[in-house]
Structure formats: structure tokens, C-alpha cells
Amino acid sequence: MKKKLTLTVEEDIVKYAKRLARRHGKSVSQMFEETFKEGQTNTIQTESQKAAGELLKKLEVSDSVKTRKDKELIMKHVKRKFT
């Protein structure tokens, strides 16, 4: 059974919630319910958090870069500069 809930929050948060809900094609009520459903792990993420998560996933599957010692890099630079 659904029940009405009244919340008091800052106006800018209301605007943000409505914008976010519109972007996801949902109502603010639907988003609120999904967030707090028992056993649900969905959380609302900012664009920065989403981008960071995607970057971490890419880094996990990417090949590691061969590291070089400072001395080797300096010698290569000097050789290139004076030749």
C-alpha cells in the first residue's frame, strides 16, 4: 500500500531532485522509493561519481605501463638533447 510522505528540504535540493528524476524518466517519488527499498543497492550518483566509477573500471582491465628508472629517463633525455 502506498502512503503519502511530506519532506522539508532546501529549495535547491528539490530542483536538483526534479531535474535528476526527469533525466532518468522517473518521478521523484519513484527515485526515493527505489533508493530506500529493502535490499536495493542503487544509490544516486553525481556525474563526477559516475565518471570516476567508469574510469576505475577501465583502469582495472587495462594493461599496466612499463615503468622506468629515473636514471634511465634522464640519460635518454640528455642523449636526445645533445645529439
Q: How many DSSP H helices and E strands does the chain contain?
A: 4, 0
DSSP 66: P
Let me know how long the chain is. 83
Average pLDDT value for the chain: 87
Angstrom distances, CA of residue 52 to CA of 7, 21, 61, 65, 70: 31, 21, 15, 20, 30
The whole-angstrom separation of Cα 11 and Cα 74 is: 57
pTM for this structure?
A: 0.46
pLDDT tens digits, one per residue of 6-32: 999 999 999 999 998 999 899 999 988
Query: Pick from 59, 14, 24: which is nearest to 44 by CA?
Result: 24
pLDDT tens digits, one per residue of 33-52: 888 886 666 566 778 888 99
